[in-house]
Amino acid sequence: MLVRIEVFSRPDLLDAQSKAVLHAVRLLGHQGIQGLRVGRLIELELAVADRAEAEALVAELVQTLLVHPVTEDWRLVWPGDEAGWSTPGHP
């Protein structure tokens, strides 16, 4: 089962990388962009029996390794689910 985890800096924190990319975009002459966020995309190929087991495994990995709980938010996205779903407390 293939799942994706989208990770972004929390919006209330200074995101130097996103600010630098936005500045560079504007220097290239693209003034119509008001905001920009840079994040990470993590794809996991899981060998699990069902969605509930996948959710539990992803939650454990996110809490222990993949996401900094103070500075980052995350979202688990299922294949074919363009809107994804949000974990409580995360966007």
pLDDT digits (tens, 9 = 90+) for 25-35: 999 999 999 99
The residue written with tokens 């693209």 in the block is 30
Q: Would residue 32 count as lying in a domain?
A: yes
Q: pLDDT-based confidence at 50, cuts 50/70/90?
A: very high
List the CATH number of the domain containing 7. 3.30.1280.10
Tally the domains of the chain: 1
- State the residue range of the domain holding 49: 2-77
Question: Are 74 and 90 within 8 A, CB to CB?
Answer: yes
Q: Would residue 61 count as lying in a domain?
A: yes
Q: What's the start-to-end Cα distance of the chain, in Å?
A: 23
**pTM, to two decimals:** 0.79
Q: Would residue 54 count as lying in a domain?
A: yes
